[in-house]
Structure 1
């Protein structure tokens, strides 16, 4: 597989294809293996999950329907209906009930559900994933053949997928330099010490790591790179270094306070989890 510096240039037709479909080929290097997959970004409310939730709401019983069902059930089971009319006498020696016993036991759950309904749509990554696995193809021809013949994966949910199926060719699997992720170099680079750290390499690793954590629904990956985590703080510092200027100089000093071995161990864990979710194809 070609290194970044040897990556071929895209021709006009290839650029047009990826621009019009809003999809990009991605090149992943993971340990001893490497290959290609596809990624797109779409608004969360345009993907199947949002539509499924709406469909579920339509299937729910209305209050009137629910009352009718209860009434019908009671009619068919007279023993229950009779018991419902029986009133037991109060026990004069019973303890006074605690008002707290009648409080809503799940206010936080209700609030979370309401927040989820009110949440604004956001742009999210969609990969060539299927049944919790990321499909990665060692050869462009194999990737193109799969896309042309299959639509039983998550990327098929985007509106432009049918157009992509018809138009994509082997020569179109040319990755932009920003879409080439050398995760196989991350751990070794971190272990090499602060002076040898490559900010661009590690920033890109964090970018694709977050995307894959979300797309694969892997909470461990998401948490490891979440805002405020040690790896996220390290990523933010690298970004300041890349921006340069006075802040960049201070950021370089901050980097030296990071434990290189701990950072390498944390990243090794993230990459191992990503590897666990990869399904390699020929």
Structure 2
């Protein structure tokens, strides 16, 4: 099934569909099962929930505001004196400006907050209620997309167009979008000489994407910057680049415990598997 879809070249119409919608079919191999799902990358500020919308002020809010501003009357119905209206004592000392400095937010912190809020490109999958929908057959994927919009991928602007145009022939994945997670653990256990950097780099890529899309802190943490698996991934990337740095990176790889790496990756793949909803 999966091998056949990759064996045949995609048509120009299929390439046009994926390019114009900014979506790609993804093929996942997990243990004894494999299938297809969809993934898109979008800027975080274009997705729902990126910015909290300001609620329009209602008549009740306006009335409450006016009531707050109204003068307070004393027991005889006369307006009480407003503290702000009391004449200032000209002989009173000037207030100490330094007393207000603590109330001002440091410029560095403001800049840091602005950086934290900066939009970034994030993955959006065919996920629903914390589960990744994966379809064993292209026809099942197409039928679901055409009939449903109650999942996370439906938030993208191009989803309605995808529903209209998608056919089973379009569910043909590029090699870059095919992830053989079922081979990762066995490859790592085979020892340093058997390791396939491209296989393991791609596994880390899709692992990070899925961890983010599924909002799974355990997966995200296992592949986050500074983690052993992330360090291993960075080393593999240097090896693939080649040159002198690549040779030095190969030596560095030998310092990694292959069994520990296999155990760590087995945990990540198991968590991904726990969040897959197999269909079709």
Q: Which residue of 2 aligns with 1:277?
A: 275
Displacement after TM superposition at 1:119 (Å) = 1.5
Higher normalized helix content (fraction of residues): 1
Q: What is the CA deviation profile of residues 124-160 of structure 1, one whole-angstrom value per residue up to 9, with x for unaligned ones?
A: 0000000110000000000000000000001000000
CA contact (8 A) 1:17 1:167 kept: yes
Following superposition of structure 1 onto structure 2, how do residues 16-35 of structure 1 map, counting pairs within 5 Å? Answer: 16-35=16-35
Tell which structure's C-alpha radius of gyration is larger.
2
Q: 1:165 to 1:252 in 2, by over 3 A?
A: same
Following superposition of structure 1 onto structure 2, how do residues 60-209 of structure 1 map, counting pairs within 5 Å? Answer: 115=113, 119-209=117-207
Q: What is the CA deviation profile of residues 179-221 of structure 1, one whole-angstrom value per residue up to 9, with x for unaligned ones?
A: 0000000001001100000000000000000000000000111
Displacement after TM superposition at 1:7 (Å) = 2.5
Distance 1:65 1:278 in 2: 51
Q: Which residue of 1 aligns with 2:14?
A: 14
CA contact (8 A) 2:5 2:173 kept: no
Q: Which residue of 2 aligns with 1:254?
A: 252
Q: What is the CA deviation profile of residues 212-232 of structure 1, one whole-angstrom value per residue up to 9, with x for unaligned ones?
A: 000000011111000111100
CA contact (8 A) 1:213 1:221 kept: yes
Q: 1:5 to 1:20 in 2, by over 3 A?
A: closer
Displacement after TM superposition at 1:33 (Å) = 0.6
Q: Secondary structure at the match of 2:141?
A: helix
Displacement after TM superposition at 1:3 (Å) = 3.2
Q: What is the CA deviation profile of residues 13-44 of structure 1, one whole-angstrom value per residue up to 9, with x for unaligned ones?
A: 00000000000000000001100000000000
Distance 2:227 2:25 in 1: 29
- Count of residues in Structure 1 that have an aligned counterpart in Structure 2: 248
TM-score relative to the length of structure 1: 0.80
Q: Secondary structure at the match of 1:208?
A: helix
Q: 1:59 to 1:187 in 2, by over 3 A?
A: farther
Q: Which residue of 1 aligns with 2:213?
A: 215
Following superposition of structure 1 onto structure 2, how do residues 33-52 of structure 1 map, counting pairs within 5 Å? Answer: 33-50=33-50
Q: 1:242 to 1:117 in 2, by over 3 A?
A: closer
CA contact (8 A) 1:4 1:177 kept: no
Q: 1:127 to 1:247 in 2, by over 3 A?
A: same
Displacement after TM superposition at 1:118 (Å) = 5.7
After TM superposition, what 4+ stretches of structure 1 lie above 6 angstroms from structure 2?
63-72
Q: 1:272 to 1:71 in 2, by over 3 A?
A: farther
Unaligned runs of 5+ in 1: 73-103
Q: What is the CA deviation profile of residues 54-113 of structure 1, one whole-angstrom value per residue up to 9, with x for unaligned ones?
A: 2256579xx9877668899xxxxxxxxxxxxxxxxxxxxxxxxxxxxxxx9xx9xxx69x
Distance 2:127 2:146 in 1: 15
Displacement after TM superposition at 1:8 (Å) = 1.6
Distance 1:5 1:151 in 2: 25
Q: Secondary structure at the match of 2:49?
A: helix
CA contact (8 A) 2:5 2:172 kept: no
